[in-house]
Homo-oligomer: A and B are copies of this chain.
Amino acid sequence: MITPVDQSAPLPAQSRPYHHGDLRKALLAAAVEELAEKGIEGLTLRGCARRAGVSHAAPAHHFGDVTGLLTEVAIAAQAKLAATMREAIARAERGSAEHVIASALGYVRFALEHPGEFGLMFRRERLRPDDPGLLAAGAESFGLAADAVGAFLGRREPMSEPQSARQIAALWSLAHGFAGLMLAGQFGPVATAAASLEALLPDMVRALFGLAPANRPEDLATISMIARRR
């Protein structure tokens, strides 16, 4: 499964300065691009170096090894995920069902828009899972979802903590699993599945929180289609 690669140095060796300037940032950007174009499996350290226009061993001086680079990419991805969720919940009233739904929608939207980065965030063996920065970055998006659930449950009636914890874990699992299954092609081609995101997920979340579905009639066809995929 090794495909030929442009082995030539990206720039004539003479035309670029010996010192890059901000190689660290350039390598991170290169990694994100490689991730988007070729996926995790296709990303290589040497490929990132080529894209940044430096020798194959240059990245080591900034990130140690490949897991070091990917860890920092994952940290940035976590920040982007939190930003996407924040944007999604911006217009929702805190404590409302829409607030909870929006947080889940933001989560899945990020996954579909940045499948490579999203996948990387949960590949323990490809990064340093105990990195403090990574843990802190991950706590952000988790906090957004937890706050949404807590506010919603607290508004209706004071819920016991375990019940709220369970609903947080359930919401996260639901969104995470939905995203993962879509990206794995289990709901059909990603393109068609993405179209049904906004139709399906909100009612899933509503069901999880004991609320009545709010489907528009035109969404129903899409839903049936997904179920009939086998």
Residues of A within 8 A of B (CB): 1, 39, 41-42, 65-67, 122-126, 129, 135, 138-139, 142-143, 146, 158-170, 172-181, 184-187, 200, 203-204, 207-210, 213, 215, 219-220, 223-224, 226-228, 230
Q: Contact: A167 with B207, CB < 8 Å? A: yes
Q: Given B66, B138, B177, B184, which contacts A1 in the complex, CB threshold below 8 Å?
A: B66
Q: Which residues of B contact A177 (CB under 8 A)?
A: 172-180
Q: Which residues of B contact A175 (CB under 8 A)?
A: 173, 177
How far is B226's CA from A158's CA once the two chains are assembled, in angstroms?
13
How far is B185's CA from A135's CA once the two chains are assembled, in angstroms?
11
Chain A to chain B contacts (Cβ below 8 Å), 24 pairs: A1-B65, A122-B180, A122-B186, A135-B230, A139-B230, A143-B230, A159-B227, A160-B224, A161-B227, A162-B223, A162-B227, A164-B227, A165-B223, A166-B207, A169-B204, A169-B223, A170-B178, A170-B204, A172-B181, A176-B180, A176-B181, A177-B179, A177-B180, A207-B208
Q: Contact: B178 with A173, CB < 8 Å? A: yes
Most buried by B among A66, A143, A220: A220
Q: Which residues of B contact A139 (CB under 8 A)?
A: 230
Given contacts A173-B204, A180-B122, contact A1 B166 (CB under 8 A): no
How far is B169's CA from A219's CA once the two chains are assembled, in angstroms?
15
Chain B nearest CB: distance from A60 CB in Å?
A: 12
How far is B161's CA from A187's CA once the two chains are assembled, in angstroms?
17
Chain B nearest CB: distance from A88 CB in Å?
A: 18
Q: Contact: B210 with A165, CB < 8 Å? A: no
How far is B181's CA from A179's CA once the two chains are assembled, in angstroms?
12
Q: Which residues of B contact A219 (CB under 8 A)?
A: 162
Q: Which residues of B contact A181 (CB under 8 A)?
A: 122, 172-173, 176
How far is B182's CA from A67's CA once the two chains are assembled, in angstroms?
21
* Minimal Cβ-Cβ distance residue in B for A40: B125
Chain B nearest CB: distance from A198 CB in Å?
A: 13
How far is B41's CA from A67's CA once the two chains are assembled, in angstroms?
13
